[in-house]
Amino acid sequence: MQRIAFIGVMGTGKTTLGQNIAKALNVPFHPEPFEKSSFIPKCYQDSVRWGFTTQIEMLKLMIEHSNNVGVMDTIPAVTAKVFAPSYIGGLELELFNSFYNLLKPQITQPDLTVFLDAPINVIVSRIAKRGRGMERGINPAFIENLTLRMQALFDELPQPKIRIDYTEFLPVSQVLNLIGT
């Protein structure tokens, strides 16, 4: 397998697990490129003003991200199908989707997609523990909405894919067995 992608909402453990799996497989780890975004902090403050710009920027970053070999933290479809509809609507969402559909052929698909799932209360607790300023004050209802969108996206994704209940952090060896490496 050249590309393994972990998906899930913030706080499910994608980055930590992805880093550990990459280390165990001796391949590069590519974190979600949100830290390269100039707009995410602005979007958290004013999603009406910055939602569209943020999602377009993240789509660009995610398409670049999809070309990486190794273990990836998320995929472009997450931006398009989970986050964009959560921040923008109407004509802006239609325009965003037209860009996504136009660029979709340039997206390199992973060889395996792993969906990390956990209950909302666990996710909220993990987000609070890690203390990212821009995530402070996220409404649990918003996380629940993202989770529902993520589950629907996962159901649409082509094989091979696997869903892992990540309520409790699992040992890397157990995850490697689950994903068949």
Cα first-last separation, the chain:
8
**Residue 150 corresponds to which tokens in the numbers above?**
């993520």
Share of the chain above pLDDT 90, in %: 59
pLDDT at 132 over 90: no
Domain edges within the chain = 3-179
Residues 41, 23: Cα–Cα separation, whole Å = 30
pTM of the model: 0.88
What integer is the mean pLDDT of 59-74? 90
pLDDT-derived band at 134, boundaries 50, 70, 90: low
- The per-residue pLDDT for range 83-99, each reduced to its tens digit, is 899 889 999 999 999 99
pLDDT-derived band at 76, boundaries 50, 70, 90: confident
What integer is the mean pLDDT of 39-47? 88
Cβ neighbours for 24, distance < 8 A, ≥ 6 positions apart: 172, 173, 176
pLDDT-derived band at 67, boundaries 50, 70, 90: confident
- Tell me, what's the pLDDT at 57? 93
pLDDT at 68 over 90: no
Q: Are strands 112-117 and 3-7 parallel, antiparallel or unpaired?
A: parallel
Q: What is the mean pLDDT of the chain?
A: 90
- Tell me, what's the pLDDT at 118? 95
What integer is the mean pLDDT of 105-128? 92
Smallest CA-to-CA distance from 11 within 28, 40, 30, 32 is with 32
- The per-residue pLDDT for range 21-32, each reduced to its tens digit, is 999 999 999 998
Task: Quickly name the fold that domain 3-179 has.
Answer: Rossmann fold (3.40.50)
**Sign of the dihedral defined by the CA atoms of residues 70, 62, 87, 41, in that order:** positive
pLDDT at 59 over 80: yes
Phi/psi for 133 (5° steps) reads -55, -40
3-state SS class at 12:
coil
Residues 45, 138: Cα–Cα separation, whole Å = 11
